Structure 1
Amino acid sequence: MSSIIQLLPDHVANQIAAGEVVQRPASVVKELLENAVDANATDIKLIIKDAGKALVQVIDNGKGMNVTDARLCFERHATSKIRLAEDLFSLSTKGFRGEALASIAAIAHVEMKTKQDQDELGTQIVIEGSKFVSQEVAVLPRGTSFAVKNLFFNIPARRNFLKSDTVEYRHIIDEFQRVALAHPNIYFTFYHNGSEMFNLPPTSLRQRIVNVFAGKTNEKLVPVQEETDIIIIQGFVGKPEFAKKSRGEQFFFVNDRFIKSGYLHHAVMAAYDGVLKDGAQPSYFLYLTVPPNTIDINIHPTKTEIKFDDEHALYAILRASIKHSLGQFNVAPVLDFDRDANLDTPYSYKDMKGATPTIQVDRSFNPFSDDKVNKHYAAPSSYSRKTEATANWESLYVGLKQDTDFDTEGGEMSFESETVTASLFNDEEVEQSVNIAYQIHKKYIVSPIKSGMVIVDQQRAHQRVLYEQFLVNMTVQQASSQQLLFPLDLYFSTVEIELIAELKQSLINTGFVFEDTHGDHVVISGIPVNVTESEVSIVLEQLLSDLQDGIPSSSFSQNDTIAKSMARSLAVKTGTALSVKEQENLVNGLFACKDPNVSPFQKPTFITMRVEDIDKKFAL
């Protein structure tokens, strides 16, 4: 009987490993950038074409490799970072993944050029799908260049699972930002389809954050600094007034490695307790330094999750450090926030000494005397003046003329009477038209109908009304716009600017008018008629938050997403008091919709109660 278990060929094993290592072009960017950092490079260039599907190239000026190392680096489980098993628990580099380059070479066309400083010539290797095509000697500068072309060319199924260029490009930017923020001492440049997207010279940590996210990032940052025996914390947190709906600007770095930690994120949110609006997310850039032997970074394939030895202590220290920084820079509220400034001591009285008050005692005063008022008691002079001024108050009204046109002593006043005309409606119709809607707990609107009554959720109903209005405007492309006297100048990060530029035409169809969109800001000169000037930034932030996972490829799906997001932002919220007219308009607007039964998010907008159901309640 033949054997069932067989060893896989190397190229098949490499393709299987690539499924775990290389999920998308951003995975290749992460591996190559981290290898360049570990090579002690001071200048790293990232070149992308077609969101990484056509080309991902990383050029560095690191220490390079000799001929033997250049060939061995594409073998499985080949590394320069690990010698013993114990080294896995004391890593000071970006980590070890032995099948990374071998997996990339198995699913793409790879061209590597490398040269060490002491060598006169370098090595150029070309690999296509794990097959060595050529290895030549070449004249090269110091460092290494990896060019990965035609990703997943031999696995069409994996290539078909890639998202649109916009989504893949955003993932690449995320990986680039994480590495660039972790190493402010390295010069990073990023090119996409021939255009320079980032140019980050070596700077301080604060300036690197400002250069990456642009806009008015500098004025948002509050420094955090703490040093203990088990952890060193440094970095910056954002001021509460600049908090956004999205969680884009939240970064944890442990020993210069980006990580994700819901536990530490909860510590940050606990420090902001009481100073953030509901649903708001603060920005933070926190760099934690801990002994390498107290963490385990190999619990996740992407190495973005870390297990700490003493998580509870780190939680308490991080929370206290952020809370201290917010209070130190007067960001968090102080205890005497209701203090009256009028009670403060004037500066002119700063060096003056207080005068000793004088006390006057009437030694002849007898509380048991028969006299009601002690004549020997000497009142203060101010009191005497006050009583003299008000003693004869009746004299103030002597000689006042009675210039009145009517008799105040029982005379009758006549008013011009109004002629009552006949009513346009009979009394029954008037009773039915008055107070047809009532608001309960500033959340529900109750309106009578022929069979009973209808109870409408005001927030969901308004979402449905706005959603259908925006869809019609974007489809017909005839939305009304109100021009602003002073254009709005809004600042966003580089990624957000790219999203707004792609959504620009759809936003114009809803009523927005853009004067300029470039750099790190957007100039808006017109807004939809049902949007106020103060709501513009809220609407755009909510839209960017809803599109974090990518923009839909089809135009209908894109319009649908924008309409839902804007309806969510602009709909009247629970807890808002509405006038009777507003309640009636909302109910009438809801039942004029094509689908009034559910909100844009498929939740019921109203329920009905028949008179028979109410009668049954009273019959119990």
Structure 2
Amino acid sequence: MSDIIQILPDSVANQIAAGEVVQRPASVVKELVENAIDAGSTSIKINLKDAGKTLIQIIDNGCGMSATDARLAFERHATSKIKAAKDLFAIRTMGFRGEALASIAAIANVELKTKRTEDELGTHLVIDGSELASQDSIACPPGSNFIVKNLFYNVPARRKFLKANSTELRNIITEFQRITLANPEIEFQLIHNDAEVYNLTPSNTRQRIVNIFGRSINTRLISIDTNTSIVKLTGFIGKPKNAKKRTDEQFFFVNDRYMRHPYFHKAVLLAYDKILPPDTIPPYFIFFEVDPKIIDINIHPTKTEIKFEDEQAIFQIIQASIREALGKFNIVPSIDFDEDTSLEIPVAGQNSEIEAPMIKVNPEFNPFEADSNYNPFDGEKSYNPFDEERKSFESNQFYQEFKAKTPPPSSTPTKKEVPEKWETLYEEPAKKEKEEKLSQAAIDRENIPDYFQPQQSMPEFTQKTLQPKEQIQKAKNFFQLKNKYILTPIRSGLMIIDQRKAHERILFEKFINSLENHQGIAQQTLFPQTIELNASDYTLLQVIIEDVRALGFDIREFGKKTFVINGTPADIQNCEPKELVENLLANYKSNQMDVKLKVRENLAKSLAKASALNYGKTLSNEEMSSILDQLFACTTPNFTPDGKAIISVLESQELESRFK
């Protein structure tokens, strides 16, 4: 039998590596921009076509490469940052494994123009599918200019699974934000289809956050700064009242490298325990500075997961730092960390004698003597400010006549003053309460109001989707429990309805009908409101703007990354337009994880969840009746669009069994 083991060609090995390193256009942008940062660039320009599927161009003013280095850079595992295994534990650069350029060149058409400052001419390379097509000298400015065209052109299966341009662009913007936040001293420019998305000038960290996420975030930031022997923490956290349901404003950076860390994320949430609105996450931008020897960043191909040597200690430091910052801004009760408020407690010496404190007491003091004005702790007569008023009152003629007619109090109580059955005063409370309950008369059924009487005639409930079929009383008796549940008696027992979930189902079916028929009715606001969005939300809203208008929104683009809201759907009441749009976009992005969900269904589902009736609202009997009438008119009244139960029935048999 012949040998079957063989060495893979470099082109095939590079394509396999590209499956781990290059997952989408955003991965290419990340790797090339990180290389530009490692090259010492102070200005980086990113130019995209069709969300990177057609063109990704990265231009920097870094150190550039010689002709030999430019050619070797596309070889697998070629790197200038590691020479020995020990260097893996002292990494401070962004890239180091030498897989990125080889992987990108294996699945795209790549051009490179690069030149060092000391060279007269630069180098122009053209590589197609890992094969060098040409290498020439060229006149170009110092730095590097990478051009990646036709991503996945030779791997059609990978290209077929790329998402829509709007989705891929948002992924690129996410990677762009992570890199630019960690490097505020570098100038960045992002252009998509000849339209400028970002133009970030060099600044400090706070200003970079404002430039990326909008001016409104500036007033919501609280700074943190903690320095310990293990780690140094700096950055900003958000105020609890401004926490949102969105999860795109949470960032961890270690040594200026973005990372994901669920354990540290939990530490942040625990620091905000009991002060956050329900189902919200505060924004945070936390930077770790640690010794590279105590972390391992070589555990994931994209280098976004990092191991720490002492994670439990850092967990506690994160909690303490955030609570200290919240305490300084009076968000939660805390001690003053800026002033020395320690108490000086005297400590007795070993040979010192302990003397008991002496208290002077006036033995002649009698509080029942009218003329006594002595202080029992002084031993001397003290001034009583009410003494003159008392003497004036006692000298009054009416007081003297009243005193003469009033007999002196007896030292022993009369017979009438002795309470009857005084022995029962000393009986055990539980025994007494039990006897009182037994002595109560039975409740007369005639005293029960008609409101609670069972009705003789009840219309049949014919919804096929509700199992089992129930019959609701004609009188429609409704009760609200904890401003969260609606209770109503039915023939088989007690029906319990979750008011928020019921309203969410009602709104969802209304919005679906509006999208299908394009009959959304807008209710004009008294004063138009403008909303400034970050680049990701701005791009998303541009894509779904027509469907948003079909729901009943009167919304128009108004300047750069800004929309003006003139009206909201008439079915939505008591909702702030800006908050409604923000929650709509946040829910829409979270629902995109469900690949089976269509765009319009996702939009209706997101808006229903953003505008549904909140818990804690007191409802009138008419409002509860209206909710149930609309719910049972829905095609699927039992479940929310997410598949959560809306209705629960407590059977009469179960109620009876509880009292046996």
Taking structure 1 as the reference length, the TM-score comes to 0.82
Q: Cα distance 1:428–1:486, how it changes in 2: closer, same or farther (>3 A)?
A: same
Instruction: Provide the residue aligned with 2:641 in structure 1.
Output: 600
- 2:581 aligned with 1:540: yes
Instruction: Provide the residue aligned with 1:165 in structure 2.
Output: 165
Instruction: Provide the residue aligned with 2:521 in structure 1.
Output: 480
Instruction: Provide the residue aligned with 1:407 in structure 2.
Output: none
| Cα contact 1:497–1:518 (8 A) shared by 2 | no
Corresponding letter in the other structure for 2:564: V
| Cα contact 1:260–1:305 (8 A) shared by 2 | yes
What is the rounded CA distance, in whole Å, between the counterparts of 1:450 and 1:369 in structure 2? 76
Q: Cα distance 1:551–1:267, how it changes in 2: closer, same or farther (>3 A)?
A: closer
Corresponding letter in the other structure for 1:131: E
What is the rounded CA distance, in whole Å, between the counterparts of 1:385 and 1:482 in structure 2? 75
Cα deviation, residue 257, structure 1: 0.4
| Cα contact 1:121–1:138 (8 A) shared by 2 | yes
Cα deviation, residue 253, structure 1: 0.8
Instruction: Provide the residue aligned with 1:503 in structure 2.
Output: 544
Cα deviation, residue 480, structure 1: 2.2
Query: 1:518 aligned to 523, 542, 559, which one?
Result: 559
Any unmatched runs of 5+ in structure 2? 337-361, 372-383, 400-454, 459-471
Corresponding letter in the other structure for 1:241: K
| Cα contact 2:328–2:334 (8 A) shared by 1 | no
What is the rounded CA distance, in whole Å, between the counterparts of 1:176 and 1:618 in structure 2? 60
Report 1 or 2 for greater relative contact order, CA contacts < 8 Å, sequence distance ≥ 6.
Answer: 1
| Cα contact 2:553–2:569 (8 A) shared by 1 | yes
Q: Cα distance 1:257–1:388, how it changes in 2: closer, same or farther (>3 A)?
A: farther
Instruction: Provide the residue aligned with 1:24 in structure 2.
Output: 24
Cα deviation, residue 58, structure 1: 0.6
SS at match of 1:246: coil
Question: Which digits, 9 at most, give the CA deviation of each residue in 1:85-144, with x for residues without a partner?
Answer: 110110111131222111110110000011111110010000011111110010011001
Aligned pair count? Answer: 554
What is the rounded CA distance, in whole Å, between the counterparts of 2:211 and 2:250 in structure 1? 16
| Cα contact 1:167–1:551 (8 A) shared by 2 | no
Q: Cα distance 1:49–1:576, how it changes in 2: closer, same or farther (>3 A)?
A: same
Cα deviation, residue 481, structure 1: 2.1
| Cα contact 2:495–2:648 (8 A) shared by 1 | yes
Instruction: Provide the residue aligned with 1:343 in structure 2.
Output: none
| Cα contact 1:166–1:551 (8 A) shared by 2 | no
What is the rounded CA distance, in whole Å, between the counterparts of 2:365 and 2:524 in structure 1? 83
Question: Which digits, 9 at most, give the CA deviation of each residue in 1:245-270, with x for residues without a partner?
Answer: 01111111110100111111122112
What is the rounded CA distance, in whole Å, between the counterparts of 1:111 and 1:483 in structure 2? 53
Q: Cα distance 1:381–1:527, how it changes in 2: closer, same or farther (>3 A)?
A: farther
Query: Which segment drifts farther, 204-213 or 548-557?
Result: 548-557
What is the rounded CA distance, in whole Å, between the counterparts of 2:9 and 2:365 in structure 1? 119
Instruction: Provide the residue aligned with 1:219 in structure 2.
Output: 219
- 2:108 aligned with 1:108: yes
Cα deviation, residue 499, structure 1: 1.7
Q: Cα distance 1:365–1:234, how it changes in 2: closer, same or farther (>3 A)?
A: closer
What is the rounded CA distance, in whole Å, between the counterparts of 1:87 and 1:572 in structure 2? 57
Question: Which digits, 9 at most, give the CA deviation of each residue in 1:543-589, with x for residues without a partner?
Answer: 22223358699999222112212222332344443221122111111
SS at match of 2:589: coil
What is the rounded CA distance, in whole Å, between the counterparts of 1:105 and 1:212 in structure 2? 31
- 2:133 aligned with 1:92: no
Cα deviation, residue 515, structure 1: 4.3
Instruction: Provide the residue aligned with 1:10 in structure 2.
Output: 10
Instruction: Provide the residue aligned with 2:328 in structure 1.
Output: 328
Instruction: Provide the residue aligned with 2:147 in structure 1.
Output: 147
Instruction: Provide the residue aligned with 1:458 in structure 2.
Output: 499
Instruction: Provide the residue aligned with 1:281 in structure 2.
Output: 281
- 2:196 aligned with 1:196: yes
- 2:466 aligned with 1:447: no
| Cα contact 2:267–2:318 (8 A) shared by 1 | yes
Superposition CA RMSD, Å: 3.2
SS at match of 2:598: helix
Cα deviation, residue 32, structure 1: 0.2
Q: Cα distance 1:331–1:366, how it changes in 2: closer, same or farther (>3 A)?
A: closer
Instruction: Provide the residue aligned with 1:241 in structure 2.
Output: 241
Query: 1:571 aligned to 602, 606, 612, which one?
Result: 612
SS at match of 2:216: coil
| Cα contact 1:214–1:520 (8 A) shared by 2 | no
What is the rounded CA distance, in whole Å, between the counterparts of 2:31 and 2:233 in structure 1? 27
Corresponding letter in the other structure for 2:500: Q
What is the rounded CA distance, in whole Å, between the counterparts of 2:541 and 2:391 in structure 1? 76
SS at match of 1:188: strand
Cα deviation, residue 296, structure 1: 0.5
SS at match of 2:188: strand
Corresponding letter in the other structure for 1:302: T
What is the rounded CA distance, in whole Å, between the counterparts of 1:549 and 1:233 in structure 2? 30
Question: Which digits, 9 at most, give the CA deviation of each residue in 1:141-188, with x for residues without a partner?
Answer: 100111010000001001001111111101101111111111111111
Cα deviation, residue 429, structure 1: 7.0
Instruction: Provide the residue aligned with 2:625 in structure 1.
Output: 584
SS at match of 1:282: coil
Instruction: Provide the residue aligned with 1:416 in structure 2.
Output: none
Instruction: Provide the residue aligned with 2:267 in structure 1.
Output: 267
What is the rounded CA distance, in whole Å, between the counterparts of 2:624 and 2:66 in structure 1? 77
Query: Which segment drifts farther, 110-119 or 474-483?
Result: 474-483
Query: 2:599 aligned to 540, 558, 577, which one?
Result: 558
Q: Cα distance 1:593–1:152, how it changes in 2: closer, same or farther (>3 A)?
A: same
Cα deviation, residue 513, structure 1: 1.1
Instruction: Provide the residue aligned with 1:296 in structure 2.
Output: 296
What is the rounded CA distance, in whole Å, between the counterparts of 2:49 and 2:146 in structure 1? 14
What is the rounded CA distance, in whole Å, between the counterparts of 1:298 and 1:321 in structure 2? 28
Q: Cα distance 1:386–1:211, how it changes in 2: closer, same or farther (>3 A)?
A: farther
| Cα contact 1:238–1:284 (8 A) shared by 2 | yes
Query: Which segment drifts farther, 586-595 or 147-156?
Result: 586-595
- 2:477 aligned with 1:436: yes
Q: Cα distance 1:48–1:385, how it changes in 2: closer, same or farther (>3 A)?
A: farther
SS at match of 1:468: helix
Corresponding letter in the other structure for 1:88: L
| Cα contact 2:479–2:486 (8 A) shared by 1 | yes
| Cα contact 1:121–1:137 (8 A) shared by 2 | yes
- 2:570 aligned with 1:529: yes
Cα deviation, residue 456, structure 1: 2.7
Instruction: Provide the residue aligned with 1:468 in structure 2.
Output: 509
Corresponding letter in the other structure for 2:103: S
Q: Cα distance 1:383–1:84, how it changes in 2: closer, same or farther (>3 A)?
A: farther
**Which residues in structure 2 correspond to 1:361-372 (within 5 Å)?**
367=368
What is the rounded CA distance, in whole Å, between the counterparts of 1:369 and 1:176 in structure 2? 87
| Cα contact 2:111–2:125 (8 A) shared by 1 | yes
What is the rounded CA distance, in whole Å, between the counterparts of 2:386 and 2:103 in structure 1? 101
Cα deviation, residue 378, structure 1: 8.7
Any unmatched runs of 5+ in structure 1? 337-360, 371-376, 393-426
Identity percentage over the alignment?
A: 46
